[in-house]
Amino acid sequence: MSEQAERSGQPGRSGQDEDRPVRRGVDGATLLCLFLLALLIIPARLVLSFVPMTLPPALVVALMLGVLWLSGQMVDTVGMSKGRNIVRTAVGLYLAAHLATYGVATRRWLPTDELTVADSSIVRITAMIAVAVFVCDAVRTKERLDKVLKLVLGCSAVIAFIGLVQFGLGVDLAGYVSLPGLRAQENGYAVMESRSIFRRPTGTTNHPIEYGLVCAMAVPLGAHYVFQARDEGAPYARWLVCLALVGLGALTALSRTAIVAVAVAGLIMVATLPKQRKITTLLVGGGFFLGASLVVPGLFGTLRGMFSNIEDDPSVKARTADYEAAAEQIDLHPLLGRGFGTYLPTKYTILDNQFLLTLIENGYLGLFALIGMFLAAAFAAVRVRVISRDEHLKSLASALLAGVLAGGIGSITFDLLGFSVATGLVFTMVGLTGALLRAARAEARTAEASRPLEADGTPGAVGGGSGGG
């Protein structure tokens, strides 16, 4: 009899009924997928038209996830995970740092324009933190994790495809998207601006750097699912296409951030892969880069010039020229900063370094909390590789580690938290490392509990003893 029939005392079904797939209701992974679709597929320039605040649809979904997480923590009937988790703790400390900064900053006098942005910024960052803790506690099995990460890869491939059409044909497919209740907001960047002889694509994001980073963070996921499908003997053409799209998208973004992020992600994947896969990855990666350079004449020279002439690059000089003014701002409010979002680029200057910007706006406590969040996510992924015997989970942990650290590296080269799509994806991946650690620990406990059964065929307790205690 089926387990459900045993509980109800009714005879179980057999035959063809048992082979029917069980319909799954809405769970945490389903709601997270809704957020990811709103974040990655709806163009970032579209915001709600019926509110005065700049409010993208993904932000509304994120706030709803925060309410659901808080409600789920108060009851034990909705399947929300409880108990300690290093990622959730780190994200909570990051929220505490932001709240402390907001309280101190709004207690003193702020110009009206800075106060307005501070109010909206605390809402945005709280929403992203809500996504991370929701993911950490609501996505509970590796199967549901797989569903979420496959959606991330698929959506990133769609973004890359739109960007490649922009890059190659000069057609902005995202510009044709119009949805009821949403209005287009000017983001200050023209999609068809160019670097060297090439157009710089944005996909559905707001900027080529953001586009490149999103594609770069999806590259290790593409590699993971190609290898997994090959190991299982399943068709892997679609994952190979997704990997090719996001890889080419990262290259054609013509962004140092994207190239460095891909390099970091690649090094992590190669370092953690089995020997045979290391060789395959290096050969395929090298062949892909060579093929892209041949298909797009001049691409390799442009990418090389971005790094070989870096000391003479005007954009690099502009970034480093602002360090003295940044140091003065840090000295004014070293502990908790001047207020998140208050260092307005239109009023002061653009800082393409999120860690430096965090030091100004959130002080040393905020900077330590931000770095701690990335380190906690990295630790969770590494811990999964240590405690799990499941090669699929270990490979997934490597892919998430590569994606999270790619986002961390991106924080050094551009102001990450100023871009909604990249920020949402980073916080999602941070939360997923916590969820993966929960899943790995649950499997480890199950394996430990079943070990005596495998040894003597009797239902013994963990530790193999026959007596109680």
What pLDDT score was predicted for residue 234?
83
For residue 71, which amino acid is it? S
Rounded distance, CA 37 to CA 429, Å?
15
User: Contact 423/128 with Cβ under 8 angstroms?
Assistant: yes
What pLDDT score was predicted for residue 312?
59
Q: Does 183 reside within a domain? A: yes
Give per-residue pLDDT as tens, 292-336.
666 666 666 666 666 666 665 666 666 666 677 778 888 888 999
The alpha carbon of 66 is separated from its chain's Cα centroid by a whole number of angstroms, namely 17
What pLDDT score was predicted for residue 97?
96
For residue 128, which amino acid is it? M
Q: Does 468 reside within a domain? A: no
Label the pairing between strands 182-184 and 194-195. Answer: unpaired
Q: Per-residue confidence of the chain (469 residues) as pLDDT tens digits? A: 444 444 444 444 444 444 454 456 788 899 999 999 999 999 998 998 887 777 899 999 999 999 999 998 888 877 788 888 999 999 999 999 999 999 999 988 888 888 888 999 999 999 999 999 999 999 988 889 999 999 999 999 999 999 999 988 888 888 888 888 888 887 655 555 666 567 888 889 988 999 999 999 999 999 899 988 888 888 888 999 999 999 999 888 888 888 888 888 888 888 887 777 777 777 777 776 677 666 666 666 666 666 666 665 666 666 666 677 778 888 888 999 898 988 888 788 778 889 999 999 999 999 999 999 999 999 999 999 999 888 888 989 999 999 999 999 888 888 899 899 999 999 999 999 999 999 888 888 877 777 665 555 554 544 443 333 3
Q: Does 3 reside within a domain? A: no
Rounded distance, CA 329 to CA 462, Å?
58
Rounded distance, CA 383 to CA 440, Å?
9
Q: 49 Cβ partners below 8 Å, 6+ apart?
A: 181, 182, 183
User: Contact 140/79 with Cβ under 8 angstroms?
Assistant: yes
Q: Does 469 reside within a domain? A: no
Specify the DSSP class assigned to residue 460.
P
What pLDDT score was predicted for residue 254?
83
Q: Does 14 reside within a domain? A: no
Q: Does 456 reside within a domain? A: no
Label the pairing between strands 46-48 and 182-184. Answer: antiparallel
Number of residues written out for the chain? 469
Question: CA-CA distances (angstroms) from residue 430 to 142, 370, 434?
Answer: 16, 12, 7
Q: 355 Cβ partners below 8 Å, 6+ apart?
A: 367, 370, 371, 411, 412
Q: Which helix (H) or strand (E) holds 277?
A: helix 275-295
Our count of domains for the chain comes to: 1
What pLDDT score was predicted for residue 301?
61
Rounded distance, CA 430 to CA 139, Å?
13
Label the pairing between strands 194-195 and 198-199. Answer: antiparallel
Domain that holds residue 251: 27-448
Question: CA-CA distances (angstroms) from residue 421 to 156, 191, 259, 310?
Answer: 11, 16, 18, 27
Best CA proximity match to 211, nearest among 176, 242, 246, 263: 246
Q: Does 20 reside within a domain? A: no
Tell the residue number behind the tokens 């491939």, with chain if given. Answer: 157
User: Contact 248/160 with Cβ under 8 angstroms?
Assistant: yes
CB-facing half-sphere around the CA of 298: CA atoms within 13 A: 5
Q: Does 5 reside within a domain? A: no
Decide: helix, strand or coil at residue 325: helix
Question: CA-CA distances (angstroms) from residue 345 to 122, 228, 341, 413, 462?
Answer: 17, 44, 10, 16, 59
Best CA proximity match to 151, nearest among 28, 29, 21, 250: 29
Decide: helix, strand or coil at residue 183: strand
Best CA proximity match to 215, nearest among 421, 14, 65: 421
